[in-house]
Amino acid sequence: MNTDATDPNSANESAEQSPSQNLAYENDDPAYRVFIDTLNYLEPDEIALVLEAYRFGEEAHQGQTRLSGEPYITHPLAVAGALAEWRMDAQAITAALLHDVMEDTAVTKADIAARFGKQVAELVDGLSKLDRIEFQSYQDAQAENFRKMLMAMARDLRIVLIKLADRRHNLQTMEPVRPDKRRRIAHETLEIYAPIATRLGLNNISRQLQDLSFKHIHPLRFRVLTRALKAVRGNRRELLSKILDGIRSKLQEANIEAGVFGREKSLYSIYRKMVDKRLSFSQVLDIYGFRIIVQDRPTCYLALGALHSRYKPVPGKFKDYIAIPKGNGYQSLHTTLIGPYGTPIEIQIRTQSMHHLAEEGIASHWLYKDSEESGADLQVKMHKWLQSLLELQGPAGDSSEFLEHVKVDLFPDEVYVFTPKGKILSLPRGATVIDFAYAVHTDIGHRCVAARIDHELIPLSAELANGNQVEIITAPHANPNPAWLTYVKTGRARSKIRQFLKALQQDGSSVLGENMLNQELQALGVLPAEIPAIVWERVVRDSGKKSRREIYSDIGLGRSLAAVFARRLAAHDEVSQTEMNVAAPLVIRGTEGMAIQLASCCKPIPGDPIIGLLRKGQGLRIHTHACRVARKSRNSEPHNWIHVEWDPDPGQFFDVKIKVTAKNVRGLLGRVATGISQAGVNIEHVNMDGEKPGLFTELHFLVQVSGRPHLAALMRALRRVPDVVRIAREQE
């Protein structure tokens, strides 16, 4: 087994006999010898630590084999070998050799810490699964494992490198695994691990993960594309040679020293282009790209100018990631030129240090320590990104919801926008003003009411484009709107909005639940204020809840019945219950928040006879007695209805629909609107029937009134308007 869902190749066959204390080490074992040779950059004592870890791991895994029949130690050895190629430190390589011993053997974290140090033990623990905890489904277990791994990654970035090397080797050796399991692991890799590699700048390993996953998900398409690409190499060799010679000669004319290389696009990127743009393989012309490596940053721009003078650039295809680097630190100039025979040529121009960073990302910090210090800066940047992911889980994070937020946050494409002070923010493509507001600060997101893009007012749902300058307008009493969840793109914004709405719903449902419980207690002849605290503590404990507030919240959301808790409290109470009172109705103001909502079908207003429908997880919905929707539901679920009444002074305005039938004459709408305004009523919305104009027309208004007396005064005022024939309140 390994740090993935399960090691897909592990047969987990434990030896019956105890591990041998003197294992033989074959000097001619190719994999082992290659691994030893790659450790020459370490100090002798560090090499000794790594070799001790190899022996320890081999003893621990003795008798275990992979599905291929190979000894299990071959897998940790391959993972450690990848880290040695990245020139990682001895602790990381040691952890890679031991990354499965806590899961598959009796070795504990304390054993590893005692023998190899606390840091190695923390690395191994961060990579180990939570296989001792029971989860309701495989998806829940995977989500929680991923959350735990991200938390460990935030503490130590080496964990992600071990994890990605581990996943790559599993994909490389998955042939003996069942096809359905191969596809599941490959899909998970494409959804999570390849995007993480891209986000961390590990482009080499990201491409490998994508191609290997593609191979396991669509094996036939993979084989067909592989053959087609192999054939194209021969057919286009002359064209590629001509382009390379043309680029080199033009750079020499400009006295620019540069390395020019042709690069083949990965199979998966070719396949995605065919699918996304509905192209056949023969229509994908830009299978090859070209990379130019120069000495310094100014030379990048000189090389760009030289190439644009030889080949015509494609408009809109130039991107300057040097001036504005990607979020993962990537820097390069991108341009697309029209080459010989009208072939599009994709070119990337960068320095050697930029190239190191582009290929290896955070691993370049270990690979190229002597080149420049940007690797350390990137480590800080990636650490901040991982910390921001952990913020998505909230105070009581649901693992599956957390995983959903992280997936949303792993978009490979980005847009770069500016704050009014000139600070650059990187957001996923398709991000909206709301995403921008939450990227600046959570409070800015919660309080935003409007925005300006490039000094023009725009709606909050507007998508951002590269180079936009965004200014957020806030109001002190504004709150997030549930509708925002339909168009936000970043995991951070989605998570913060949901957290706020859940807290708001809990507050409102708690107040509602308390009122409902008090209502039931009064019906039993018990005064809520006289119930002793010890009785409450006993009821809370017996119900398995954490607090009295949690009981209130569950009652308000319909998860628990107020009558049940009222009887429990009354049974414990010593108050005489000889007299049973009739339950007083629940008082409604209409300002209670998300826990109490006015039904949109009948739009009740103060003065209307009302009744409340309590549904599990939805709170209380208020309907009028005459509402047709309510009448149907009262027959099918009579026990869910609650007696409610309006507060004598709600102190706010309520939406109501009215229909005005009038003669179709010029100036009618203006006169009716004036009459509404003079009655002290605000118009929220108005529309007219779209049918052909006749003798009469119908105007539909959504207005705000304080109650039925206010609505009656409005109707009297409208009857005095000339040409108005009929006025009616619209209800379903």
Query: Catalytic residue numbers?
Result: 103-104
Give the Cα separation of 400 and 144 in Å (integer): 7
Give the Cα separation of 194 and 167 in Å (integer): 10
Give the Cα separation of 6 and 176 in Å (integer): 14
Whole-angstrom CA distances from 331 to 65, 314, 380 are 44, 21, 17
Cβ–Cβ < 8 Å for 362, 382: yes
Cβ–Cβ < 8 Å for 76, 100: yes
Give the Cα separation of 330 and 202 in Å (integer): 10
* Reduced 3-state DSSP string for 20-38: CCCCCCCCCCHHHHHHHHC
Which amino acid type is present at position 616?
A: K
**Any residues with CB less than 8 A from the CB of 165 and at least 6 apart, and which?**
79, 82, 83, 96, 205
Nearest CA to 97 out of 63, 123, 117, 130 is that of 123
Whole-angstrom CA distances from 528 to 351, 540, 584 are 75, 15, 14
Given the structure tokens 């286009």, which residue do they identify?
236
**Largest separation between any pair of C-alpha atoms in the chain:** 107
Whole-angstrom CA distances from 449 to 83, 96, 436, 595 are 49, 50, 13, 23
Cβ–Cβ < 8 Å for 729, 656: yes
**Any residues with CB less than 8 A from the CB of 614 and at least 6 apart, and which?**
516, 558, 620, 640, 641, 642
Kindly report the backbone phi and psi dihedral angles of residue 461, in degrees, each rounded to the nearest multiple of 5, phi listed first: -85, 0
Radius of gyration of the CA atoms of the chain, in A = 34
Q: Report residue 668 as tokens.
A: 């009618």
**C-alpha 371: how far from its chain's center?**
35
Give the Cα separation of 371 and 362 in Å (integer): 14
* Reduced 3-state DSSP string for 576-636: CCCCCCCCCCEEECCCCCCCEEECCCCCCCCCCCEEEEEECCCEEEEEECCCHHHHHHHHH
Q: Report residue 393 as tokens.
A: 């889980």
**Any residues with CB less than 8 A from the CB of 407 and at least 6 apart, and which?**
191, 192, 195, 491
Given the structure tokens 């180990």, which residue do they identify?
128
Q: Report residue 312 as tokens.
A: 């015509």
Question: How large is the angle between the packed helices 219-235 and 237-253, nearest 10 degrees?
Answer: 60
Which amino acid type is present at position 88?
A: M
Give the Cα separation of 312 and 339 in Å (integer): 8
Given the structure tokens 């029209």, which residue do they identify?
338
Q: Report residue 561 as tokens.
A: 């019945």
Q: Which helix (H) or strand (E) holds 139?
A: helix 138-155
Give the Cα separation of 157 and 126 in Å (integer): 11
216, exposed or middle or buried, with CB in 10 Å at 0-12, 13-18, 19+? buried
